[in-house]
Structure 1
Amino acid sequence: MERIRITKEFTFETGHALYGYDGKCRNVHGHSYHLSVTVIGTPIQEEGHKKLGMVIDFGDLKTIVKEEIVDPFDHATVFNGKTPHVTLAKTLSENGHKVILADYQPTSENMVSDFARKIRKRLPEGIELHSLKLRETGTAYAEWFASENP
């Protein structure tokens, strides 16, 4: 049977700051992120199966990505937890703000890699993560491909 790729797209709003960066992004700011998640697999061929013909139900993929990425990151501010931003993060958190202390500098490149790890762990057997595209702005994005990250 043929292997087919399917893609589901997501949007979320996230703030971040790049500690030690020499440009404007050292300041706390936000983006309307757009995430495209592409998985690959063989469509279910078992007659009578409620998901006959599907690689994975788009709703099931949506649940995984919402729980792992969208819900935690939407309207949160992400800081590198290994920097003095921890102090700012603590103050924000104590005042009711949603904060994520990542173990990496929160660039699009590092975020897309983190997202790939999280999504890969949740996919059902026989379904593989093919690629991710994380668009930070209308003209800038980071991509992750499984073929380049075994």
Structure 2
Amino acid sequence: MAGAAAECESVEVWAEDGVEDEWFELEKEFRFEAMHVLLHHDGKCARPHGHSYGLRVALCSHTLVQNGPKVNMLMDFSDISAVCKKMLDAYLDHHNLNETLQTDSPTAEFIAKWVFHYLEPKLPLLHSVTVSETHTSRATYRRRRSSSGQALSAAVPRYGNGHVASEQDASRHRPKVLEQGPAHSRTCETCGCSCRI
């Protein structure tokens, strides 16, 4: 028993020391059915069609929760599921992605980035999002990490104008597309800030 306690203590010291080349990565996978059309594509994807998509959400951190009911977890899988299920039901599962994502080319790459930006305020430890159209075709979007393991953008999610995003704040923001293009500029219909969703 003393050996087990010593082993736990060494893990806590390791986590507190912030070993920079090792971290925990937590992944949760989801499935959803959706249709899309790539309007500018020069092949068969220019016709409306559907996919049985796969979605993998990955979180990472150098440390785990140190006390309470979630001790030794990076995050509870059920908490990740709750956040992702709301998004899937509202925007992705059994939807026309051209309409819900407001683009004429909802590629796997675009969807991965869109999901990342949607989830980032709700999952601050988010590391990457992978979207699969088939078993052999997938796209991943990730943010470069600082040595601390946090996203370089900021530990606290912010909107484009520096407006701090809280859960309550995010629920008030209803972005609308201002123009289509690589940046997909958006503005909030509520307060006019540049929401990044």
Relative contact order higher in (CA < 8 Å, ≥ 6 apart): 1
Q: In 2, are the aligned partners of 1:44 and 1:52 still within 8 Å (CA)?
A: yes
SS at match of 1:122: coil
Q: Does 1:128 align with 2:125?
A: yes
- Aligned equivalent of 2:106: 106
Aligned residues: 126
SS at match of 2:118: helix
- Aligned equivalent of 2:181: none
- Aligned equivalent of 1:62: 81
What residue identity is the alignment partner of 2:93? D
- Whole-Å Cα distance in 2 between the matches of residues 104 and 128 of structure 1? 30
Q: Does 1:45 align with 2:42?
A: no
Query: After TM superposition, where is structure 1 displaced by more than 3 Å over at least 4 residues in a row?
Result: none
Quote how far apart the aligned CAs of 1:20 are: 2.2
- Aligned equivalent of 2:53: 33
SS at match of 1:137: coil
Q: In 1, are the aligned partners of 2:91 and 2:101 still within 8 Å (CA)?
A: no
Which is further off, 3-12 or 70-79? 70-79
Structure 1's 104 and 17: CA in aligned 2 closer, same or farther, altered over 3 A? Answer: closer
Structure 1's 70 and 33: CA in aligned 2 closer, same or farther, altered over 3 A? Answer: farther
TM-score normalised according to structure 1 size: 0.76
Across the aligned residues of Structure 1 and Structure 2, the Cα RMSD in angstroms comes to: 1.9
Larger radius of gyration: 2
- Whole-Å Cα distance in 2 between the matches of residues 146 and 61 of structure 1? 19
**Identity within the alignment, %:** 32
Q: In 2, are the aligned partners of 1:10 and 1:70 still within 8 Å (CA)?
A: no
In structure 1, which of residues 67, 73, 78 is the aligned counterpart of residue 92 of structure 2?
73
Quote how far apart the aligned CAs of 1:122 are: 0.8
Q: Write out aligned runs for 1:83-102 (5 A).
A: 99-102=99-102
- Whole-Å Cα distance in 2 between the matches of residues 70 and 140 of structure 1? 23
What residue identity is the alignment partner of 2:69? K
Q: In 2, are the aligned partners of 1:69 and 1:115 still within 8 Å (CA)?
A: no
Q: In 2, are the aligned partners of 1:35 and 1:133 still within 8 Å (CA)?
A: yes
- Whole-Å Cα distance in 1 between the matches of residues 66 and 122 of structure 2? 22
- Aligned equivalent of 2:30: 10
**1:25-84 Cα shifts (integer Å, max 9, x gaps):** 1111000101111101221112xx0111111100001111111235421111122xxxxx
